[in-house]
Chain A
Amino acid sequence: MTPPHEPRSKPPLRLLAPGSRTSASARASEFSECDASAGELPLIELEGIGKDYVTGPEVVHALIDVHLGIPRGQFVAIVGASGSGKSTLMNILGCLDRPSYGAYRLGGVDVGARSIDERALVRNRLIGFIFQGFNLLPRTTALENVELPLVYRGLPRRQRRRMALEALEQVGLIGRVAHRPNELSGGQQQRVAIARALVTRPPVLLADEPTGNLDSKTTLEVMELLERLVETEKITLVLVTHEDEIAARAHRVITVRDGRIEADSLAPLPPPPRRTGPEPRTSRA
C-alpha cells in the first residue's frame, strides 16, 4: 500500500511525543493545520496497543500491536469488515474500553491507564461521541439532550443552557430546541447528537457509522456539517464507516483487518476542498 501522492511523508504512525502533561486545551494552539510533519505532536497517539478478550477457554486478539498517530484537525475514516477490530479500536479511542497492553495518549496524557472515573472525565472533556443510532434520551428535549454532558461537568443551569443553545445553533437547529427526539427527523436527531458532542468543545469527535441510519440526502447534510466542523473548529474527527463514499471524503483512511492496521492512506490535499460528490480518492490495499 502506498499513498498515491508524494508531497508528504507517511502519516505519523509512530511519532513519539515528549511526555509533557499539559492539558489538551493548553496544547491546542500547538497544533496547526493537520500537518503530520516531524516534530508535530499528534493529538491521538497509540503505541503498541493490543486488546485481548477471554471468552471461555479461548483468547480473542481483537487488536494486535496497533501504532497510530492522529494530528489535530484531521478527518480520519476507519474502515474494515465487521469483526476486524475497528469497533474495539474506536472503543479504546473513546476511553470506553481499556487496552490490554500498550499506551494510548490523548493530548499527551496517557489516558489508557487511568481509573474509571478519570476516563469518564476524559470522555467528558476531550471526546465527543456520535452514534449510528443517535442515542438521544427519549422524552427529553433537544436542548436538554445537548446539555447532558455539561450536567456531568457540574455546570450551573444557565451556563449549560447558553452553551447548549450555541451548539444547537452551530448545527442549525436553533428552531428545534424544545422538540423531543420523536418529533425530529433522523437527520435532525443526528444533528442534535452532534450538538451534544460539540457542546463540551472537545478536540476529538468520534463518530461510529454516523450516517448509517440516514438516507443519502441527509447523509450528505450530516457529512457536510461534520466536515465544516473539522475545517472551522479544527476538530479531529475519527469516523468509522463501511461506506466507501463516506470514507472517500476523509483526509485519511485507515483500514483495519484482523486486529491490525492493514492500510493507512492520505487523501491528496489536506484539508480537502469542498467536494460535490463522493468520489474515492484513496487507494486501499
Chain B
Amino acid sequence: MNLLWESLRLALRSVARSGLRSALTVLGVLIGVAAVVLVVALGQSAREQIGNQIESLGTNLVYVFNGEASAGSRRGDRRGYRLSLGDADALRRALPGLRALTVYSSRAAQVVSDVTSAKVDVVGADQDYLRVRGYDLVSGRDLTLLDVQTKAKLVILGSGASQKLFGDTDPVGRSLRVGQSRFEVVGRLAPKGQNPAGGDQDDRIVMPIGAWKARVFPGNDDRVDMIIASAPTAGAIGELRDGIERVLLETHRIPVDGKPDFRLITQDTFRQNQEEIFQILSLVLVSVAAISLFVGGVGVTNVMLVSVNERRREIGTRLAVGARPADIRWQFLIEAMTLTSSGGLGGLLLALTGIFALERQLGWTMNLDLTAFALALATSLAIGLVFGLLPAQRAARLDPIAALRHE
C-alpha cells in the first residue's frame, strides 16, 4: 500500500515534470474520454429530455397532416388543403374509441393588448385542444363546446404570449385585438417549453376555429392545417391511426390503389426519429471514442517504452536496492495510468464544456452526475492499464546488471 502510494507520488511528479510531452501523449485519450462521456450524457439525459418534449405534445397522439397535394409542406398552400372541419366531425362520429380530437390551424399575427402589441402564433382549434395537447390552465377557463359552436370571440393565452402582451399580470378578463376584432381573454396556460422540433409551445394564443376563420384569417372554405387525435391508451394508438386512415380514405374518396392526400404521424414516429438520430450520433461518438482511445493508448505505450529505455539505470538502481520486478511493473503501470487519467480528467472537462454548449444551443438540461466522472476515470485507467502493460512488463524484466551498466 505504502509502495503504491509512493509510486503514485512518483508518477504524478514525473507526469507533471514533462508537461508538454504528457499533454501531447494523452491528447488521444482526452478526446476519447470526452467522446465517451458525451455519449453517455446524451444517451442518459438528452434522450430523456427529448422524451419529455415528445410527451409535452400530449398523450398518445395521431397527427393528420395535409398530404401530397400540399407538396409536403406542413402549412402547404391553400389550394392543396384537403383536411376540413367536416373530416373532424366524420372522425368523431366514426371513431367512438378516441379520447379526444381537435382541428388545428395556426398563423403568426400581430396581436394588440391594452398595454402593448406582439407577434404571436394565433391558433384556431376546438374545445378539445387543451386536452389533446395536454396544456394545463393556471387561471381562467377552457373553451367550451358552446364557445366553439357560437364562434365566440374568446382567447386562451399561452404563458409566453401572456408574458409578452400583459407582463406578469393575470390577463383573464382583459381584452386584446387581432386584426379588426376584439377578443376577451378567458384563460391562461401553464408553460410547456419546446416541442421536439425546437418550436416554442407557449408563444401562442388559442381561439375557437370558427372565430379564427371568420375574424382573423377569413376564407370561404372549412379547410384546416391539421387534425390531432388522442387515443385512450398507448396501445390503442395503432388502432386509432388505422381507424383515421380508413375513415379519411372513404370520405376523401381515394381509390383503392390511389395515393392518400393526407399524412398520418403518430407520437411514436417522433420518438423513433429521435431514437434514430441519437443512435447515429452515439455511433459516431463511440467510433470517435474508440479510435482516439486506441490511438491515444498506442501513444502512451510508445512514450512509456521510451521512458523505460531512458530510465534503465534508474530501474537497475531500484532493483539493486531491493525493488522486486513486481514493484517496477507497478511503478510503470501507475505512471501510465496517471498519464491517461490526467487525459481522462481533461476529457471530462472537454465533455463538460461540450455539454454546456449543447445545453445552451438546444435548451436541454443534462443532469450530469458522478457516473460521467466515474466513467471518464474508469475508461482512462483501463487504457493506461492495457497500454501500459507492455512497457511495464519490459521494465520489470530488465536484467539488473545490464540495466545498471546502461549509460
Contacts and interface: CB of A to CB of B under 8 A. Distances in A.
Interface in B113-168: none
A120 B2 contact: no
Contacts of A138: 314
Nearest to B320: A129
Interface string B309-343: 00001101111111111110000000000000000
Interface in B263-302: none
Interface stretch (A15-23, A106-114, A149-157): A149-157
B17 A135 contact: no
A121 B326 CA distance: 12
A148 B3 contact: no
B263 to A, nearest CB: 72
Given A96-B400, A155-B2, A156-B2, A149 B326 contact: no
A94 B3 contact: no
Contact of B6 (A91, A133, A136, A151): A151
Contact of B322 (A135, A149, A157): A149
A30 to B, nearest CB: 24
Interface in A114-168: 116-117, 120-121, 123-125, 129, 131, 133, 135-139, 148-149, 151-157
A172 B221 CA distance: 108
Given A131-B404, A154-B2, A139 B318 contact: no
- Main secondary structure on chain B at its contact with chain A? helix
A129 B321 contact: yes
B3 A154 contact: yes
Contacts of A200: 322
Nearest to B7: A151
A148 B318 contact: yes
B306 interface: no
A272 B387 CA distance: 57
A138 B14 CA distance: 11
B401 interface: yes
A258 interface: no
A96 B323 contact: no
Interface in B366-380: none
A65 interface: no
Contact of B316 (A120, A135, A149, A152): A135
A117 B17 CA distance: 31
Contacts of A97: 401
Contact of B324 (A120, A131, A151): A120
A149 B6 CA distance: 12
Contacts of A157: 2
Contacts of B327: 120, 152
A148 B321 contact: yes
A120 B321 CA distance: 8
Interface in B7-66: 17
A152 B401 contact: no
A93 B219 CA distance: 108
B321 A152 contact: yes
A149 B321 contact: yes
A123 B323 CA distance: 9
B2 A116 contact: no
Contacts of A151: 2-3, 6
Interface string B369-407: 000000000000000000000000000000011001000
Contacts of A116: 324-325
Interface of B: 2-3, 6, 17, 313-314, 316-327, 400-401, 404
8 contacts: A96-B320, A123-B320, A135-B316, A137-B314, A152-B321, A152-B322, A152-B324, A156-B2
Which 8 A-B residue pairs are closest in the complex by CB-CB distance? Answer: A124-B322, A149-B321, A152-B322, A120-B324, A135-B317, A117-B324, A129-B320, A96-B400
